[in-house]
Amino acid sequence: MRLLKILKLVTAGFALLTFMATSPAAARIVVDVNRGHADPLPIAITDLVGSESDIVSGGSVKNYGQRIALVIKANLTRSGLFRSIDPEAFIKSGTIEENLRNPNFNNWKAIGAHALMNGSISLQEDGRLKVEFRLWDVLGTNQMTGLRYFTSPKNWRRIAHLISDAIYKRMTGESGYFDTRVVYISESGIATQRVKRLAIMDQDGHNHIFLTNGKNLVLTPRFSPTAQEITYLSYHNDDPRVYLYNIDSGKQEILGDFPGMTFAPRFSPDGNKVIMSQAYKGNSDIYVMELRTRKIQRLTSHTAIDTSPSYSPDSRFVTFNSDRGGSQQIYVMESSGKNIKRISFGKGRYSTPVWSPRGDLIAFTRQYKGKFYIGVMRPDGSGERLLSESFLDEGPTWSPNGRVIMFFRQQPYDDKGRGGETQLWTVDLTGYNERQMITPLDASDPAWSPLIR
Amino acid sequence: MLEKMNSVKYWALIGSALLLSACANTNTGTVPVTPTEPVAVETEDPVVASPPETVDVETVMEDPATQSSLDTASGNSVAYFGYDRYDLSSDARAALQAQAAWLQTHAAVKITVEGHCDERGTREYNLALGDRRANSVKNYLVALGVDPSRIHTVSYGKERPVVTGSGEASWSKNRRSYTRVN
């Protein structure tokens, strides 16, 4: 066994180490993330081998190994890039130890697998689980990666997400997005008296928690880059203002002392500022507040509606939407507020621009002829592509690797007031692999967290 | 209906007049008792039994400074807007003139003007548009002589539609301002 690298994830309480990783050049299989609609890569994911007699809270160690494998399968399948081979097809031969260290590649080749994941799980004396996995190139007959994790049993889902991210990264060359969370607005009740609550969940919908009780109308939550704070709009005391919510402490605080309504907040990439709009005396402009000093800087001064600001990942630019040209369009300016340039020129109205974490694209909502679309364009306005279309699609948010966009979709109401269902959806940057997120109630205004550290 | 009620009242008055005169006569003790008198009194008795006083109490009450009073005076306290517009149509101006007149006669009342939008816009833009609408209304009420310190504004964007429906008939009712008595 060759130890290459030791990474300590101190904040998350994880220790993981890479062992026996081969150089990327040796890998024969590569998943092209730009071809999400092409044949997904067939991968065999085996249950992590564990003891049936070792019991931790919630089940045997063996059972945990099965559950982790299920979560990995679900993650990779949902990405649209992989196809998990039915375990019924697996050909059994050899001892457990042989299979873990030296799999029979011919058996896996025979059932069409291009990649194989196997591994083991055991209970340590300190009560933590030790989980290790290896990813094999079946056609190239070598190991692509292997990692070992230690954590408390209640954290088992994160292990599954971390393994999913490791597999995704090794096979696509891009970082994954499975060890992430989504904050959003949970909706219930009739349209005229809608109850809205701040809620948070893992990217696969599990570990769902309501953060507010629905007494105050809340809207548009967004993560800080540390994923521990949320900025959002609350109608506390019937006075709509931007607030901060600390996920660890549950503490909420109003942001700034503005005379008018503040809304459309978003963190700067370093997390030290919040950019937002203030509506004062019927005019909305863009402001930025430094969180430490509470110093406020006004970035736009125009009689038009200027709102929905979003920083570029290098913090040098801000994109926003404005109707200063007559209709809602997308603009880019320097983060000082200088050199405002319009970038959207298509038919209809453009809004909610959000800069990709990779910096290469801006996602937006477009309205044209009674339909709403989610699309992307380059920061100079070129290369526009529409990824989704419906009666009402709105509010894109990026996966941290810039490959998947989540948004919400509202169905129309019929003449009798039925309908109006509102749900979260994801779509690949390719425009393929559109999927609905499962939430306990209706859902809107999603915001994807960065990778959890 | 009115005529009918008037005639009832009329007969009631006659009845009470007859009763009073009958009583007066009895009290004097000067009229000799005769067996023919009671016939006319018996037919009037049921009419005079109900006292009409409670009706008078209601009519002297003043117009209260309530939401329902403003609603009645100004067509439900709303003004409607065109799609993506915040300027005031002649209909909207007429509705707001009625609100201003009511506010002049109820000078102690403070109000909140709510700005609302239809569902055909993005959330954040609609918050800004609702703010524009609320302030259009506020500015017009001020121009009509209402003290600006009496008027608070709030935007609900597309969050509080008054009608549920996905068509122009519903959307045009949701693009509105609503004047709330605080």
Write out chain A's pLDDT in tens, 453 residues. Answer: 232 222 223 223 333 333 333 343 344 566 666 655 568 999 999 999 999 999 998 899 999 999 999 999 999 999 999 999 999 999 988 888 888 999 999 999 999 999 999 999 999 999 999 999 999 999 999 999 999 999 999 999 999 999 999 999 999 999 999 999 999 999 999 999 999 999 999 999 999 999 999 999 999 999 999 889 999 999 999 999 999 999 999 999 999 999 999 999 999 999 999 999 999 999 999 999 999 999 999 999 999 999 999 999 999 999 999 999 999 999 999 999 999 999 999 999 999 999 999 999 999 999 999 999 999 999 999 999 999 999 999 999 999 999 999 999 999 998 787 899 999 999 999 999 999 999 999 999 999 999 987
Q: Is A397 on the interface with B (CB under 8 A)?
A: no
Select from A249, A258, A215 the least CA-distant residue to A234: A215
Mean pLDDT of chain B: 80
Residue of A nearest to B132 (CA): A282
- Which residues of chain B does A365 touch, with a Cβ-Cβ cutoff of 8 Å? 122
**Confidence class of residue B63 from pLDDT cuts 50, 70 and 90?**
confident
- How many Å lie between the alpha carbon of B101 and the closest alpha carbon of chain A? 23
B134·A238 Cβ contact <8 A: no
What local confidence, expressed as pLDDT, does residue A417 receive?
79
The amino acid sitting at B139 is N
A240·B154 Cβ contact <8 A: yes
CATH class, domain A181-448, is mainly beta
Q: Is A413 on the interface with B (CB under 8 A)?
A: yes
Q: Is there a single domain that holds both residue B72 and residue B30?
A: no
Q: Is there a single domain that holds both residue B44 and residue B89?
A: no
Q: Is there a single domain that holds both residue B108 and residue B164?
A: yes
Specify the pTM: 0.85
B123·A219 Cβ contact <8 A: yes
Tell me the domain boundaries of chain A. 3-172, 181-448
- Which residues of chain A does B163 touch, with a Cβ-Cβ cutoff of 8 Å? 192
DSSP, res A419: B
Q: Is there a single domain that holds both residue B17 and residue B96?
A: no
Token pair for A237: 């005391």
- CB-defined contacts A:B, below 8 A: 98
Decide: A167 and A135 in contact? Cβ < 8 Å.
Answer: yes
Cβ neighbours around A173 below 10 Å, total: 13
Q: Is there a single domain that holds both residue B82 and residue B159?
A: yes
For the domain that residue B177 is a member of, what is the CATH number? 3.30.1330.60
The residues near A117 (Cβ < 8 Å, ≥ 6 apart) are: A43, A44, A45, A46, A72, A133, A134, A135, A136, A163, A167
The residues near A169 (Cβ < 8 Å, ≥ 6 apart) are: A175, A176
Q: Is A209 exposed, middle or buried (0-12, 13-18, 19+ CB in 10 A)?
A: exposed
B163·A192 Cβ contact <8 A: yes
Q: Is there a single domain that holds both residue B44 and residue B118?
A: no
Q: Is there a single domain that holds both residue B97 and residue B150?
A: yes
Q: Which of B36, B59, B82 is the last residue of a domain?
A: B59
Domain that holds residue B124: 67-181
Q: What angle do CA B170, B173, B177 make, to 5 degrees?
A: 145
B154·A365 Cβ contact <8 A: no
Q: Is there a single domain that holds both residue B52 and residue B81?
A: no
- Which residues of chain B does A420 touch, with a Cβ-Cβ cutoff of 8 Å? 164, 166
B154·A413 Cβ contact <8 A: no
Q: In terms of CATH, what superfamily is A3-172?
A: TolB, N-terminal domain (3.40.50.10070)
Residue of B nearest to A411 (CA): B166
Q: pLDDT, tens digit, for every residue of B82-101?
A: 999 999 999 999 999 999 99
ipTM of the complex: 0.90
Q: Is B90 on the interface with A (CB under 8 A)?
A: no
B128·A351 Cβ contact <8 A: no
- Which residues of chain B does A263 touch, with a Cβ-Cβ cutoff of 8 Å? 124, 127-128
What residues 26-85 of chain B have any CB closer than 8 A to a CB of chain A?
none
Decide: A180 and A399 in contact? Cβ < 8 Å.
Answer: yes
What local confidence, expressed as pLDDT, does residue B59 receive?
53
The residues near B175 (Cβ < 8 Å, ≥ 6 apart) are: B80, B81, B82, B83, B85, B116, B117, B118, B133
Q: Which of B11, B36, B59 is the last residue of a domain?
A: B59
Q: Is there a single domain that holds both residue B82 and residue B165?
A: yes
Q: Is there a single domain that holds both residue B104 and residue B171?
A: yes
Token pair for B136: 């259009």
C-alpha span between A221 and A356 (Å, rounded): 17
Q: Is the pLDDT of residue B45 over 70?
A: no
Instruction: Give the closest of A261, A367, A417 to B155, CB-based.
Output: A261
Q: Which of B59, B75, B105 is the last residue of a domain?
A: B59
Q: Is A217 on the interface with B (CB under 8 A)?
A: yes
- How many Å lie between the alpha carbon of A242 and the closest alpha carbon of chain B? 12
Q: Is there a single domain that holds both residue B117 and residue B35?
A: no
Domain count, chain B: 2
What residues 254-283 of chain A have any CB closer than 8 A to a CB of chain B?
260-261, 263-264, 277, 279, 281-283
Residue of B nearest to A232 (CA): B124
Q: Is there a single domain that holds both residue B106 and residue B171?
A: yes
Decide: A54 and A153 in contact? Cβ < 8 Å.
Answer: no
B128·A279 Cβ contact <8 A: yes
Residue ranges with strand state E in A57-114: 59-60, 82-84
Q: Is A292 on the interface with B (CB under 8 A)?
A: no
